[in-house]
Amino acid sequence: MADAPLLSARNVKVHLRVHGRIVKAVDGVDLDVLPGQCVGIVGESGSGKSTLGRAMTRLLPNVEIAELSGSVRFGTEDVLAMSPDRMRALRRHRGLSMVFQDPLSYLNPTLRVDRQMAEALRHLLDRRAVQDKSAELLLQVGLSDTARILRLYPHELSGGMRQRVLIAMALAPDPQILVADEPTTALDATVQYQVIQTLRRLNKERNLAMLIITHDLGMVAELCDQVYVMNGGKVVEAADVFTLFDAPKHEYTASLLAAARRLHQTKALGEPV
């Protein structure tokens, strides 16, 4: 497979100003996401994984950046050097979309779901088309009762429904890649599982490339094809998911895996009888 990467980072450095000190949050990272691939960035808090995700999608607040260097390419374009207009265009149509950890704070509490979906579907002019597309997107993320859900306010949705509505909105511009930062952290286990199912289906059925930022090796094992392990702003190991879990090369990866296995005892409990 000699696909050109869809999204790629080369020697990306993000140094942030935190309380007057310079923190090397991301310190020279290379990363590739191929079309249709699901890539995971794993790390613990402070590893720089979220900062990297935000740098690659140009969502870092400018005030804190002390240094931002290296290159991020989306297709053939340089994301970091792109004009704000071009960036906006990419977010609105066939570009990159993002999903975050806390769905409630990314939904407008005063608007019903249909209005917010319509906002994400501004490129469709016809009201009828917007309605159809909204329903279609909700179906795609596994919310079948679309007519009812579209009439609800965010607080009337359960946590899992909110996150899936947010994913549906992220899908509205028909992106080529979805970047998800801890998309299931705030959710219950059964709901987390539904969201993971949804993401996997989108990955397989729409051939949607994904960059999943997470601390949870269980989620990586379920979802990702390729994994980057980050620690202290650097990628310490990058490998195919099976290789990484079976034969970790770096000490840090091995210690993460050991901790995960201590918690996720790998005997498969509750096999369906």
What does the binding site for another protein look like in residue numbers (CB under 8 A)? 16, 18-20, 23, 25, 43-51, 54, 61, 63-64, 158-161, 188-193, 196-197, 215-222, 241-242, 245, 255-266, 268-273
Query: Of 40 and 173, which CB lies nearer to another protein in the complex structure?
Result: 40
Looking at residue 103, the DSSP 8-state letter turns out to be G
**Residue 100 CB, nearest approach to another protein (Å):** 10
Rounded-to-integer distance, Cα 133 and Cα 114, Å: 11
Q: Are 182 and 214 in contact (CB under 8 A)?
A: yes
Q: Which is nearer to another protein, 200 or 206 (CB)?
A: 200
> What's the closest the beta carbon of residue 262 comes to another protein, in angstroms?
4
- Paired sense of beta strands 96-99 and 7-18, if any: unpaired
Q: What is the CA radius of gyration of the chain?
A: 19
Cα–Cα distance between 42 and 231 in angstroms, integer?
A: 9
Q: In the complex, what is the shortest distance from the CB of residue 104 to another protein, in angstroms, rounded to a whole number?
A: 13
Q: Please state the closest distance from residue 121 (CB atom) to another protein, in A.
A: 26
Dihedral sign for Cα 228, 49, 91, 145, please: positive
Minimum Å distance from CB 212 to another protein? 13
For residue 74, the minimal CB distance to another protein (Å) is 22
Where b means 16+ CB within 10 Å and e means fewer, 99-134 reads: bbbebeebbeeeebbbebbbebbeebeeeeebbebb
> 191: how many CB neighbours lie within 10 A of its CB?
18
Q: Which is closer to another protein, CB of 143 or CB of 172?
A: 143
Distance of CA 10 to the CA centre of its chain: 19
Minimum CB distance to another protein smaller for 235 or for 241: 241
Quick one: 97 or 253, whose CB is closer to another protein? 253
Tokens of 143: 């919310």
Q: Which is nearer to another protein, 76 or 105 (CB)?
A: 105
The angle, 0 to 180 degrees and rounded to 10, between the axes of the packed helices 127-140 and 113-120 is 100
Given the complex with another protein, which of 78 and 145 has the nearer CB atom?
145
Nearest to 116 by CA among 148, 157, 153: 153
**Shortest separation between residue 124's beta carbon and another protein, angstroms:** 30
